[in-house]
Structure 1
Amino acid sequence: MASDLCEAFAGFLILHHKEQIQSMVLYQDPMLHYSLQIDFAELTEHDPSLSHLLYSQPNDLLPVFDNAARYAQNCANASIKEFVHVRINVSGSPLESPESFPSIGRVRVKHRGILLTLKGTVIRTGSIKMIEGEREYECRKCKHKFKVYPELETGNSIHLPSSCPSQRSRACEGTSFQYVEGTIVCHDYQEIKIQESTQVLSVGSIPRSMPVILKDDLVDIVKAGDSVIVTGVLTAKWSSDLKDVRCDLDPTLIANYVRRTNELKSEIDIPEDVVKKFESFWSEYKDNPLKGRNAILQALCPQVFGLFTVKLAVALTLIGGVQHVDASGTKVRGESHLLLVGDPGTGKSQFLKFAAKLCNRSVITTGLGSTSAGLTVTAVKDGGEWMLEAGALVLADGGICCIDEFDSMREHDRATIHEAMEQQTISIAKAGLVTTLSTRTIVFGATNPKGQYDPNQSLSVNTTLSGPLLSRFDIVLVLLDTKNPEWDAIVSSHILSEQGEPEKGKGSENSINMWPLPMLRTYIHFVRRYFKPNLTKEAERIISSYYQLQRRSATDNAARTTVRMLESLIRLAQAHARLMFRKEVTRMDAIAAILCIESSMTTSAIVDSVGNALHSNFMEHPDQEYAKQEKLILEKLRPFDDFLDTNSI
């Protein structure tokens, strides 16, 4: 039976994966472990009964499949590789169903022993060890040799059979065995822990986690913070036998195939028809581009009325600038950070939650619910060994970390994110573990001012946030509830119309065809990936002149007017160019970046250029309004650069 199955699997490999086998046998090192990846859907199409057997009895058939991969190498005239492992990719196959693709919290006894696939985020990675895979024994009576495999359930211990397992016609029934020297086979071994993604959990659910065992070529291919899809066989492991502690089994997944989905998401090609839709959208708004920009911004958090300045700041933060390496080889971050400081009821948390929906990877936390270890990384002891467990900033690597109630964090905990925000790394020295983890994440914070906001005081005094921390935020928007009667009337009518008649509740603001959330997410991903805008000479002069102006007039905002502000201006100008679907930073992008920075200053260097960010609404003719703002800004910057021409607009 086993030989027939081996021939059937080998026939499938020769038919569908001949090129992979031929390229594998050309490698020189016969001691390496090699992977042979196959699609389960392809096997199902080739032989449905064979695929069903593999799905229902993977413990028996996966070793047979590996033997078939060794047997299939005979077709090539080269050294046969003994250590070949067939890796089963089930994505896109009939197995991708809730039954065989459950969430970690729904894994039950019925899933034991079948081919199971789990999605999650790696929160812990153990050290790479060496474990015994098999050893050979010989019966002293009949000299029959047989292999003994360690049992994972009892902690990889070896259990000899009660009698000789010889299959000869006359039963041996010998009970004395001796170990054959030099027959121990060892494997690379690593334990990781994966946790359910918080995006798929309902409110109030605690994310479940499960240990995963990686062997041979699978070790060290994932790190803490990676989103993964793991295919393997569910087994059980006896928990440690302590006195007066209930003896139970811990579910453990022995991995056969591991795929990093965070890399996969960045490599997804945008369909041509979607790209053409974006191009036709901008060709339609060729004469008034800012109206097109506002049409995109209106899709940001549509349940909140107005707040044009905040929506523009959120869009620029999510898109971000271009990361580059300076002359010394140091990386200068491209991700922007945003802080919303405002009175209660100004919609800060709404923007946080919407921003998390627009990113592939996002972590939402609150100040009170976050410790320094929970934000960065914590050292945990597992089975006598110290391991690092990833915190919020590491889990959000490549995405966004939203921190609500930023002011309620302890001072010590806030200080831990300084390095994560600027250098985009976290240096760890805990329990003898000294390492550096990557945190290429956008930090989006929201906080209430300390008591009543006093415009005469600096931002540090009003928010109780230190100057070094404030300087790391590209934009700090202050939303003050000044109780404007006209604004209150507009907002109340907007909310009431949405409650009363949803069809008619679109309002004048939403009269343009609003982009749906998936399209907005695709657009942000597309411009981040394909647009690397360069600064034009004119944009450079405008940014430089504004920086000089801010440095001269910086009295109350000394914490904000540092060199970091200059880098923020460049990032915001690049983000605006990406938002406008351009591959170079023009005068308009530099002016837009200045307007964003002006909005975040409590005392504006360019008087009357911006108003209250809370009461900023979408204008009917944004291009004409921009022309006035541009003329005003260039007039103010003229003393710092004589080449700036205020007439050519």
Structure 2
Amino acid sequence: MSGWDEGAVYYSDQAQFPSGRVGDNSSDSRHSVLLKFKEFIRSFETNSSVFPYRQSLVHNPTSLVVNLEHLDAFDPDLPSLLRSAPADYLPLFETAASEVLASLKSKVAGETGEMEEPFTEDVQILLTSNEDSISIRSLGAQYISKMVKISGITIAASRTKAKATYVTLLCKNCKNVKLVPCRPGLGGAIIPRSCDHIPQPGEEPCPLDPWLVVPDRSRYVDQQTLKLQENPEDVPTGELPRNMLLSIDRHLVQTIVPGSRLTVIGIYSIFQAANASTAHKGAVAIRQPYIRVVGIEEANEASNTRGQAAFTADEIEEFKRFAAQPDTYETICSKIAPSIFGHVDVKKAVASLLFGGSRKSLPDGVRLRGDINVLLLGDPSTAKSQFLKFVEKTAPVAVYTSGKGSSAAGLTASVIRDSGSREFYLEGGAMVLADGGVVCIDEFDKMRAEDRVAIHEAMEQQTISIAKAGITTVLNSRTSVLAAANPPSGRYDDLKTAQDNIDLQTTILSRFDLIFIVKDIRMYSQDKIIAKHITNLHATAGSTREESKVSKEENWLKRYIHYCRSNCHPRLSESAAKKLQTEYVSIRQDMRQKANESGEASAIPITVRQLEAIVRLSEALAKMRLSDVATDEHVKEAIRLFNVATMDAASSGINQQVNLTAEMANEIKQAEVQIKRRIGIGSHISERRLIDDLSRMGLNESIVRRALLIMHQRDEVEYKRERRVIVRKA
């Protein structure tokens, strides 16, 4: 950044002085515009005898938020002046606000109301508008010095600096003092080469560049720089997201943290980077673009007013009609990944994740998360990644990442040193960028253990604490996590225990509300149906009508999810809460009894977190119907989902299914090898004869029968004629 304190003098044809451009406007026209601004603040009224800007100025004398639509209704010329030459007329607007404030104070206190400091801009004007924002990619040279409106997500915020508005210069020869204005934003002061003091006879004339800067007598305001990145959903596939540097000052400083989604109104400006002048001679004519912010709107996902304003009355009526139908739950689940065959319960879990539960703030300051985390663990080619891709397209805010290509800093936040100022600043990762949405993490098992530990806090407390390089802060990561993983051996092995198949730490497993074991079951009838479904998909994929129909349904579902998350915040009813208490206690007792019988703890612990998970699921099911109360019916379905997901995963594996020790599991493997030796693929043998043959080898009959049962569950053998003849299928 350039400026007087860096020992360099810069010249620019973009003189953004408070006094206006030289020769651009006459003083009479500027005075008339000043009067119009003052008249607008004083006399604009919305309803009968309500003067919003006059009242706002009295209650908050430091800043004034002005809607450009109100200004356009008052005088259409004023917004066009602000849009075409904001650097000239915005200081004029602030001067008008300061004078109106002074006159209002003088009327109240009976004082004269004279301005104490002629150059002080007491009131900061912040602009807001309902017009559509433009893409960061479309910003070009034609927008320089114009007012623009863009939206994006903040990925970095610098420390607060002191920016000089007026620099006090002292001539080292004649001790003459001069006050020089600084350009706003990242621009510096243009320091004159010579002193304007006229030497007296016998007095030595002042040399060139005689000025010394007196920092103590200069005037300053707070300034901060932000880095705004395109929203993840707006970045074209295969493209890198674009960034834009923002400059905020005065009362906007320290109001934005990384991860915030912003809509910004500002002046598209240029500045000379600190290292550009030394690179090569051609860099003198090259400037870096940035936006000097004059208005910020922060998108708040929990804000009801913002959610209602985004929907038309017809849409709201349609959503309410849909929510009142008896088959709302089934219809929503049928719209979840329609290209994937089967996996009905997984689709219901994904639907619950998209809608989410209700966030709660307790009186002692503790916040309970409402977001639902789901883990899909199982065999390859079971459409796990397809679910993740569908959620990325359907969720209002979503970020997709792969575990192997993600580090702890990339998922949470990193501390980076700026190349120009050499200071450290924070840059948010995937879980910060997806604040208020969903993070889809594929290949979750391929992550390094230390990287996986980094998201523990983000998944439960929904914050990310940073203490690096002198920066100590907490970032919000109010996001759901949808993760997909494979077992350590690649495929789910029924002859292994649940601990061996689910090779994840208990600390991370307890943070998932639902854990699904997705198996690739070899069954003739099911394989035939899936093959028919896949071939039909490929046959009809090219039709334009089908594509438009699918995109329309996805857009409708996205809007409905957004509306439900913004406007519905259900709570448990008393009867539902009592039912949930009873069920949770019985689940804990069953798990304790199974642990005592097997002598091993469950791979997936059942703790209070799982009780909260069922509460969140019940609230999500109620939210689908736009109901403010989660009833017994919702709790019953939530418990069923929990049982078919997490409870089945906890009881999966050979030890839990047939209550075997490690020695018995080894004997079953030996029996399985002997069975395969005696039966060729496609051949058959009497069950009694097989058992007798293996018993002569010293194998126990119960071991042989259990081995046959396991092979039958894996669809490797099949029983014919009332379980008397065994046919080997694979």
TM interval, shorter chain, is: 0.7 to 0.9
For 2:324 and 2:58, locate their aligned partners in 1 and report how far apart those are by CA, in whole Å.
52
Cα deviations by residue, 1:444-493 (Å, 9 ceiling, x for unpaired): 11122222211343444224322211121111112111132222322333
The alpha carbon displacement at 1:421 in A equals 1.0
Matched, 1:517 2:554: yes
> What is the aligned partner in structure 2 of residue 434 from structure 1?
472
Task: Tell me which residue corresponds to 1:314.
Answer: 350
Identify which of 200, 204, 214 aligns with 2:248: 214
Q: Deviations over 1:357-383 (max 9, x none)?
A: 333322111112211111111111121
Instruction: Please give the residue correspondences for 1:201-600 in structure 2 after superposition, counting only pairs within 5 Å.
Output: 201-241=235-275, 245-246=279-280, 247=283, 248-263=286-301, 266=304, 267-269=306-308, 273-285=314-326, 291-324=327-360, 330-382=366-418, 383-450=421-488, 451-501=490-540, 516-528=553-565, 529-535=567-573, 536=575, 537-554=578-595, 555=600, 557-600=602-645
Shift of 1:143: 13
Q: What is residue 614 of structure 1 aligned with on the other side?
A: none
Cα separation, 1, equivalents of 2:649 and 2:232: 40
CA contact (8 A) 1:549 1:605 kept: no
The structure-2 alpha-carbon separation of the partners of 1:570 and 1:553, relative to structure 1 and needing over 3 Å to count, comes to farther
What is the Cα deviation at residue 117 of structure 1?
A: 1.8
Return the alpha-carbon distance in structure 2 between the equivalents of residues 329 and 141 of structure 1.
62
Identity of aligned residues (%): 30
Q: How far off is 1:498 after superposition?
A: 4.1
- Root-mean-square deviation (CA), in Å? 3.8
The answer to which structure has the higher helix fraction is: 2
**Structure number with larger C-alpha Rg:** 2
CA drift of 1:108 comes to: 2.2
Counterpart-to-counterpart distance in 2, 1:239 and 1:3: 36
- In the superposition, relative to structure 1, how do residues 249 and 177 fare at CA in structure 2: closer, same or farther (>3 Å)? closer
Q: What's the CA shift for 1:226?
A: 0.4
Whole-angstrom distance in 2 between the partners of 1:414 and 1:181:
49
Aligned pair partner of 2:157 in 125, 139, 150: 125
Q: Secondary structure at the match of 2:51?
A: helix
Which residue is equivalent to 1:643? none
Which stretch has the larger CA shift, 598-607 or 258-267? 598-607
Distance change (3 Å), C-alpha of 1:280 and 1:62: closer
The alpha-carbon deviation at position 344 of structure 1 amounts to 2.5
Q: Quickly say closer, same or farther: Cα 1:190–1:503, change in 2 above 3 A.
A: closer
Deviations 1:544-602 (A, max 9, x none): 32333234325563433233222222222332233344443333323322222222244
2:185 and 2:248 in contact (8 A); partners too: no
Other structure's SS at 2:307 match: coil
The 10-residue stretch of structure 1 (62-71 or 129-138) with the greater mean CA deviation from structure 2: 129-138
| Most deviating of 433-442 and 175-184 | 175-184
Match of residue 56 from structure 1: 84
2:77 matches 1:36: no
Displacement after TM superposition at 1:183 (Å) = 6.1
Structure 2 counterpart SS, 1:311: helix
Post-superposition CA distance 1:288-344 (Å, at most 9, x none) = xxx431112111122223321111011112223333456865333222110111323
Distance of 2:469 and 2:323 partners within structure 1: 55
- The one-letter code sitting in structure 1 at the alignment partner of 2:443 is E
Q: C-alpha deviations, 1:183-214, integer Å up to 9, x for none?
A: 63211111111111121111111011122111
Pair 1:574–1:153, CA change in 2 (3 A): closer
Unaligned runs of 5+ in 1: 167-172, 286-290, 608-649
Cα distance between partner residues in 2 of 1:10 and 1:26? 14
Q: Is the 8 A contact 1:475 1:597 kept in 2?
A: yes
Matched residue pairs, number?
581
More moved, 250-259 vs 477-486: 477-486
SS where residue 487 of structure 2 aligns? coil
User: Structure 2 regions of 5+ residues with no counterpart?
Assistant: 1-28, 116-120, 199-204, 654-730
Q: In the alignment, is the contact (CA less than 8 A) between 2:263 and 2:299 conserved in 1?
A: yes
Mapped partners of 1:219, 1:301: distance in 2: 44
Q: Secondary structure at the match of 1:123?
A: strand
Checking the alignment, whether the CA contact within 8 Å between 1:543 and 1:590 is kept in structure 2 is no
C-alpha distance in structure 1 between counterparts of 2:237 and 2:522, whole Å: 34
Q: Taking structure 1 as reference, are residues 494 and 136 closer, same or farther at Cα in structure 2, changes over 3 Å only?
A: same
TM-score, normalising length from structure 2?
0.71
Contact 2:167–2:215 at 8 Å: present in 1 too? no
The letter for the 2-side match of 1:454 is D
Q: 1:182 to 1:598 in 2, by over 3 A?
A: closer
| C-alpha distance in structure 1 between counterparts of 2:459 and 2:579, whole Å | 30
